[in-house]
Amino acid sequence: MNWIAIILLFCMVLSGAAIFIADLFRTKKELEMKKIIILFLLLSITLSGISFAGQGKKYGKELTLKDTTKISEILQNPEGFVGKRVLVNGLVVGVCAKRGCWLDIAGDKPYQKIKVKVEDGEMVFPLTAKGNHAVAEGEVEKFELTKEQVLKLKEYQAKEHGVEFDPSTVTGGATIYQIRGFGAMIKE
């Protein structure tokens, strides 16, 4: 529980006590005061709900960036982000089933996603993260793969997902952009 939530809960208790005391006196001024206290109580409840809504399970290092970068911006100009630290957020649409070493986060535009990859064992993302909202911070990386590397990657992915793979679909190398994750928060 963070300090804001504790302060808001304290204010709610004080408001409740003030309402009880206001009920003892029924003058017009006290009734107006009771209305103000009730409004303050409702505001406190709303703010404490907002405060708790931001909570989630943290993985890795603390998130240090305040401003998020849209995934669509990264994918539109990936070279401009290579080597830069970014904060992204979105729906988790995939999780590494073997080691929990990566998350796929959906972009702000349809059919876009970016992988947030961490060193095996550094952080372990649970399979239950899929379908939840995540915020992740890390550095954008670029990998240039040869045709042979793409073949191995596609074969591995097909085996992992239990689908057939046709090597003739790979016609050349590929460039992959992903985020090397430093920290994340998943709101479950």
Q: Cα–Cα distance between 18 and 13 in angstroms, integer?
A: 9
Is pLDDT of 48 > 80?
A: no
113, 143, 157 from 152: Cα distances, Å: 22, 14, 9
The answer to whether the pTM exceeds 0.95 is no
pLDDT band of residue 67 (cuts 50, 70, 90) is very high
What's the gap between Cα 104 and its chain centre? 11
Domain 57-187: which CATH class? Answer: mainly beta
pLDDT score of 34 = 60
Over residues 101-117, the pLDDT tens digits come to 999 999 999 999 999 99
Over residues 128-169, the pLDDT tens digits come to 999 999 999 999 999 999 999 999 999 998 988 889 999 999
Residue that has been written with the tokens 């970014």 in this structure: 86
- Cα torsion at 143, 90, 128, 120 (round to 10°)? 30
Q: Cα–Cα distance between 64 and 101 in angstroms, integer?
A: 21
| The pair of three-digit structure tokens given for residue 181, joined into one six-digit string | 């994750």
Q: Cα–Cα distance between 131 and 129 in angstroms, integer?
A: 6
Cα radius of gyration rounded to whole Å, the chain: 25
